[in-house]
Amino acid sequence: MLQRRRHLSALLAGLLMLPACAGRKPGDPLKPGYNVYSKEQDIQLGREAAAQIRQQADIVKNSAIQEYVNRIGQRLASSPAADGYPYSFTVINEPGINAFALPGGPVFVYADLIEAADNEAQVAGVIAHEIAHVALRHGTNQASKSQLIQLPAVLAGAVIGDGSLLGQLGQLGIGLGVNSILLRYSRDAETEADALGARLMAEAGYNPIEMARFFEKLEAEGGSRAPQFLSSHPNPGNRMKAIEAEIQTLPQRQYGFSTGNFQQIKAAVKKLPKPKQPQQQTTAASAGPPPAPTGGFQNFQTDRFTLAYPHGWETFGDRRSRVLTIAPRQGLVQTGSGTVSLGYGAVLSYFTPSARSLGPATNELISQLRQANSSMRATGQRQVTVAGNPGLLTNMVSASPYGGTERDVVLTVMRPEGLFYMVFVSPEQSSAQLGDTFNQMLQSIRFY
């Protein structure tokens, strides 16, 4: 049991930022943002992660509690705005007031959350909020934007081990839990989830304002109970006013739906065994950067470009991937928060800017990189030619996951598919000796 608890703690403490709703007005349409993953990958990742969580979490055995939450969830998810994902709703008896949704549809509700609610509409509000995160694909949207320079780019399709998305993550030591980038949302994402959640509640007959009231209750309680939910669901500010404004844009409806079982279920939750506190985990310090590559180069070809990379390095991402990471295995560094960063290697992908010329498009990308990593700053830029195409090299520095600083060289080339970019990452102390490696990779690039 203790070992299982340790695994669950690691899972839930270890499980991806262009502003999604900047300038949005109440009532405006809500659509998923930038994403390198397919909806099918969302569903696959969620299914695999949910199976693992169900094996390790303390699933509530009371069928009445499970059926109650599932009934509320399915009523909310029946809205076309929930986008037809295979939603499931599971109550777990783990410490804290919390709920989270995995990409693709699995939603987990902590039993303590039901006990903390004042009425059924507040429970429905949290579930609607989580459904909105799924429908708007916030988890993999966050991941897609962080993958501009951080892992897990391997999720884009590498076939490692058993071929599962979770298997690929596990072999790289990447945690999957409520503190990871997949489930740690921006304030913009929270605003969107509030807005869509309010719509889902209204369609189901629940008063949407109860969602805001419950979140305000958590904020007011503070202490040891509230922050677990709020740490991954930050208050976007003026939450009550924003939800009230969203409600004003909705068709007039009669609210007040209830299954009539809230008090009975709340009493049943109070009788559950007290959740056991998870064991504290320690994270081993990462090893230093790997040595510079020696030996020759090998070729990698996608349907859009080909390039050469050093022997001994690996490719994470398949030939159809929109994100490709090339690095030695030691270049993938597990951080103290359970995430994995690229400390040494290269990330290649395409970015879709609003600008159509190289300079402004590159500036958009650089701005995005800095949003994903606030320690990054540009130190210089120069023009280059790549396979006959004009390009830019932007030199940047940022904090290295090995400690100290790292050098990031960002190559950008305008292509019909968008802005092609390659970010070459190296620790400060290794940047000079890796210069030849980067130049050879750059000169080997050919576009189709």
pLDDT of residue 194: 94
Supply 212's token pair. Answer: 């805001």
- CATH fold for domain 297-447: Protein Transport Mog1p; Chain A (3.40.1000)
Dist. CA 342–CA 77, nearest whole Å: 37
pLDDT of residue 152: 36
pLDDT of residue 160: 33
Q: Which of 342, 367, 421 is nearest to 389 (CA)?
A: 421
Q: Report the mean per-residue pLDDT for the chain.
A: 80
Higher pLDDT, 2 or 123: 123
Higher pLDDT, 358 or 399: 358
Higher pLDDT, 173 or 96: 96
- Provide the sign of the torsion angle of the four alpha carbons 319, 392, 343, 446, taken in this order: positive
Residues of the chain with CATH 3.40.1000.10: 297-447
pLDDT of residue 14: 40
User: Which amino acid is present at 2?
Assistant: L
Q: What is the pTM of this model?
A: 0.62
In this structure, are strands 106-110 and 88-92 parallel, antiparallel, or unpaired? parallel
pLDDT of residue 389: 95
Q: Are 358 and 440 in contact (CB under 8 A)?
A: no
Distance (Å) of CA 119 to CA 77, 211, 257: 19, 10, 11
Dist. CA 174–CA 338, nearest whole Å: 6
Dist. CA 428–CA 126, nearest whole Å: 45
pLDDT of residue 19: 40
Q: Is 119 exposed, middle or buried (0-12, 13-18, 19+ CB in 10 A)?
A: middle
The percentage of residues in the chain with a pLDDT greater than 90, rounded to a whole number, is 41
Q: How confident is the model at residue 222 (pLDDT cuts 50, 70, 90)?
A: low
Q: Are 258 and 124 in contact (CB under 8 A)?
A: no
pLDDT of residue 155: 35
Distance (Å) of CA 162 to CA 46, 158, 159, 171: 16, 11, 8, 10
For residue range 151-168, what is the model confidence (pLDDT) as tens digits? 333 333 333 334 555 554
Q: Biggest alpha carbon distance in the chain?
A: 72
Dist. CA 160–CA 171, nearest whole Å: 8
Instruction: State yes or no: pLDDT of 287 exceeds 60.
Output: no
Using the CB atoms, write b or e for 423-440: b if 16+ within 10 Å. Answer: bbbbbeebbeebeebbee
Q: Are 272 and 62 in contact (CB under 8 A)?
A: yes
Angle at which helices 239-248 and 209-221 cross, to 10°? 180
In this structure, are strands 323-327 and 345-351 parallel, antiparallel, or unpaired? antiparallel
